[in-house]
Structure 1
């Protein structure tokens, strides 16, 4: 099989990575899976299709070796919830810098960064419908680390001409939950569609895009996603009606986007 595209996926054994990998495999594409543990990742490895790389995102030399000859980077690795500041700085901020620098040095021009709704957690729900990307208003140290990730993505696009998509991922689940999750759901299939749009992009710009499905409550503007070719198809409300036989209630539109993560039940620097 002739390999036309090689995509590096960091955090490939994480919850999002495990769902994405089988959806991204296709003829002519090689996947380089990067993580420090394969636990939970069930996949037949074929030499010219998928390769496994036990490399930490804190290992600059190791990451540059993985990036050599690659076409695109999907950066999912990092701490996925609130932690002490030093840990988030080391892994989410410094680690993202290490990964981006390795990609730059290896000539990788297309990048998706897994940011989070928590980068704008103190923004009101109503602001998410704006076609202008929201300024960072993080709700936790974790949210700060994702805002820093976005800033690094912007720098690497403007300074080095890389095409970078910072995806503000909302609620990534196999199936939608209830309450706020009806509005915030990102399905695995739509996440794969977002990755496909990002790794095809080559405009040397930074894009802030909501990582969300086409949910009927329509809290989030999809315009920025459409501009890069991301067109989500799944709808949490339709899935919920088919599954449960009832129309789920609309979530409270007056709450901050970060919901409970903006109050004292989730103090900064703690763990949850």
Structure 2
């Protein structure tokens, strides 16, 4: 009989963490769930739960003691001021990777984001190796996190699977953008399970969206973990395609949607442009 994989789940109180906190034990994993700075309540008898600030080494040590794989869903998940992003998505992530070194954790599954690519126009198809184009400080932090994951594999032998998660939701697509970025619950669970169980991944990057007909990324390309999504947002197209993601039309031009228009400088107000000049095709590419 195989020895159960021991999983740590950070961010267990968040939107994705709440789903995985229930789903992972049901798949047979022994799970320790961490709820950040807010104390969790038991979901079932003998559940292994904890809380604390992941910037503190003693909290990280408590989370990772005896663990094989960390599913890291903690951190700021929306666009926020740079100082907050640095604390939660850079400093805390570094503390987690250093903890993984101390405790010889085999693998970290890192919740990256499609917002590391959000400034690509919606007409662009993303492939493995497509360049980063973050749409804000949040997306920039995910680009940095993927770089950290790469470095800790190259220098320290800690495997990482970076999941470039789109619009993960327990509900159907809410707008036109979600027809491209939606990640259904069944596919989310399958994605994380494959990230846990795939052998010898080293360092891997995987698009975390369902098999959407309008996906911005090329889901026909093979991935390193054997993720094979089955859900498709297109079945809700009649309800969602007429709903704009944001009142500002700029949001519909770029893959990052509403994150793009946060603190966005219009083309006509950018350096070197005459006020009122129309944007060129180069500006929009």
> TM tier, shorter chain?
0.7 to 0.9
Deviation at 1:261, TM superposition (A): 2.1
Structure 2 residue matching 1:37: 3-state secondary structure: coil
**Aligned-residue offset at 1:55:** 2.2
Is residue 16 from structure 1 mapped to residue 16 from structure 2 by the alignment?
yes
Unaligned runs of 5+ in 2: 265-285
How far apart are 1:59 and its partner, in Å? Answer: 1.3
Q: Give SS of 2:12's match.
A: coil
Pick one of 182, 189, 193 that aligns with 1:192.
Answer: 189
Q: For 1:23 and 1:70, how far apart are their aligned partners in 2?
A: 18
CA contact (8 A) 2:12 2:73 kept: yes
Mark the runs of 5 or more structure 1 residues left unpaired by the alignment: none
What TM-score comes out, normalization by structure 2 length?
A: 0.81
Find the structure with the greater CA-based Rg. Answer: 2
Map of 1:74 onto structure 2: 71
Moved more, 19-28 or 103-112: 19-28
Structure 1 pair 57–202 and aligned structure 2 pair: CA distance change class (3 A)? farther
Corresponding residue for residue 38 of structure 2: 37
Instruction: Using structure 1 for the length normalisation, give the TM-score.
Output: 0.85
Match of 1:154 among 123, 132, 150: 150
Q: Is the 8 A contact 1:173 1:186 kept in 2?
A: yes
Bigger Cα displacement from structure 2, 174-183 vs 147-156: 174-183
After TM superposition, the runs of 4+ consecutive aligned structure 1 residues lying more than 6 A away are none
Q: How far 1:45 moved relative to its partner?
A: 3.5
**Aligned equivalents of 1:205, 1:2: Cα separation in 2:** 22
Structure 1 residue 219 displacement after superposition: 2.7
For the residue of structure 2 that corresponds to 1:127, the secondary structure is coil
Q: 1:112 to 1:182 in 2, by over 3 A?
A: same
**Residue 63 (1) aligns with residue 60 (2):** yes
Deviation track 1:73-112 (CA, whole Å, cap 9, x = no partner) reads 1001001112221111111101111111111221111211
Task: Output aligned runs, 1:146-185, within 5 Å.
Answer: 146-175=142-171, 176-185=173-182
1:217 counterpart residue number: 214
Provide, for residues 220-263 of structure 1, a one-character-per-residue CA deviation record: whole Å limited to 9, x for no partner. 2225664311111111112x26xxxx4754999x8221123223
Whether the 8 Å CA contact 1:167–1:208 is kept in 2: the answer is: yes
> Is 1:4 aligned to 2:17, yes or no?
no
Change (3 A) 1:172 1:28: closer
Which of 109, 129, 133 in structure 2 is aligned with 1:137?
133
Q: How many corresponding residue pairs? A: 256
CA shift in 2, pair 1:27/1:219, >3 Å: closer
* Cα distance in 2 between the residues matched to 1:167 and 1:224: 15
